[in-house]
Amino acid sequence: MPLSNRSTLTQYLIEERRRFPDASGALNALILDVALACKAIARAVAFGELGGAMGDAAPVGGEINVQGEVQKRLDVVSNEVFIRRNEWSGLLAGLASEEMEQPYQIPGSYPRGKYLLVFDPLDGSSNIDVNVSVGSIFSILRAPDDVIQSGRDVTEADFLQPGATQIAAGYALYGPTTMLMLSVGNGVAGFTLDPNLGEFMLTHSDVRVPADTREFAINASNSRFWEPPVKRYVDECLAGATGPRGKDFNMRWIASMVAEAHRILMRGGVFMYPRDMKDPSKPGRLRLLYEANPVGFLMEQAGGRASTGRQPVLGVKPSGLHQRIGLVFGSKNEVERIERYHHEPAAKESANPLFSERSLFRD
C-alpha cells in the first residue's frame, strides 16, 4: 500500500473513537503518550553502545530490582521515559511498573485522570547486550470510581483487576523495524514506525492468529521441572509425523516474550512458560499484570487463546502487584489441547525423546 494511503496511529484512534460518540478522547491521548514513550525507547535501543546506556545499572554486579533481577541501564532509562511521558497529562490516576515495588503517584503539581497504566518498560532486557529484539508492554485499566471522584493516591489494590477489564493493551517491538501492536477492544492492529516521518503507520489491520500451528516455544532447559501435562504435550510434538499428532513441529525459543508474542501474532504458534516445580513458592515465571494480561488481551482479540494451562488468564483475579503466573498463549486449538491435558487424569509419563540418552555406537 502506498504511504499516502496508510493511516497514522492518530487517524486509527480517531476512527475507533467514532464508535463511541460520547467518548472524550482521553484514551486516545493516553495511547499517543505511550506511543511517544515507545519512540523514545526505540531510539535509545537503536543507538546501543553508542548511546552509553548499555550494561548493568550499577557498576559492580548490577542493581537488583523488585523482581530479584539485575537491572540494565536501559531498564532504568525506559522506566523513567514511561513515567515522564505519562505523568503530566491529567489522564492518569497512577502508574505501576515491573521496575518499581509500589505504584507511582502522580505528583501534586499535575492533575489526575481516570486511567491506570501498568507496564514493563523493557521486556527481554537480559538480551539487550547481544542485540536480540526487546520490547515494551503496557496495559490500560480504568481507575476505581472512588479514586476518580476523590483524587486520592492510588494503592496496590486499585490495580488488582482481572485482565478482562483492560480497556486497551499493546506492546512495542524494537527489532529490525519498530512496531506497535495495539488493541482497544476491537481486534488487533499493527503499526510500523516510519523513521522519516517519526510516525507509527498502520501496516497490519485486523491481525488474526491461525487456530492451528506447527510451532511451539518453550524453555527446554526446564523440562525436568515440568508438570506431566506439559511433558505430554511437548513429547507429542517432538514425536513428529510418526507420533500421535501426525505432523512435524518446530521448536522456537527467543527468551524475549515480546518477540515470541509478535511471531505468534504474525504467523501462529504456541508459547509456554507454564507453572513448574523449579521453585514451588512461585506459581509461574511471568508477571500477571504487566506481561500475561496485556499479551493475553492481544491474543484473545486476535482470535487466539491465553491460559494459565488450567483457566483463561484474563479471568484470574490478581492478588498482588507483582504476582507471577504460568502462561500459555497462541493458536487456539493448541492452547485448548494443553488445557485439556491439564484436566485429564494423569497418564503414565513417557521418556522425552529430546533428552533421552544417545550414543554414536549404539546398535
pLDDT tens-digit readout, 63-109: 565 666 668 889 999 999 999 999 999 999 999 999 999 999 999 99
Domain shared by 119 and 169, yes or no: yes
Boundary (domain end) residue, out of 157, 177, 204: 204
Identify the pLDDT of residue 361: 38
Domain shared by 66 and 165, yes or no: yes
Domain shared by 234 and 103, yes or no: no
More confident residue, 234 or 124: 234
- Grade residue 30 by pLDDT with cuts at 50, 70 and 90: very high
Task: Note down the domain range covering 26.
Answer: 3-204
Give domain status of residue 351, yes or no.
no
CATH number where 181 lies: 3.30.540.10
Q: What's the mean per-residue pLDDT of the chain?
A: 91
Give domain status of residue 270, yes or no.
yes
More confident residue, 354 or 328: 328
8: three-class secondary structure by DSSP: strand
Domain shared by 255 and 330, yes or no: yes
- Which residues lie closer than 8 Å to 31 by C-beta, 6 or more apart? 9, 13, 140, 168, 170, 182, 184
266: three-class secondary structure by DSSP: helix
- Grade residue 51 by pLDDT with cuts at 50, 70 and 90: confident
Record the cell numbers describing residue 297, joined without a space.
Answer: 488481551
Give domain status of residue 352, yes or no.
no
325 within 8 A of 288, measured Cβ to Cβ: yes
Identify the pLDDT of residue 64: 61
Domain shared by 117 and 66, yes or no: yes
pTM, full prediction: 0.90
Q: Tell me: pLDDT of 62 over 60.
A: no
245 within 8 A of 213, measured Cβ to Cβ: no
144 within 8 A of 278, measured Cβ to Cβ: no
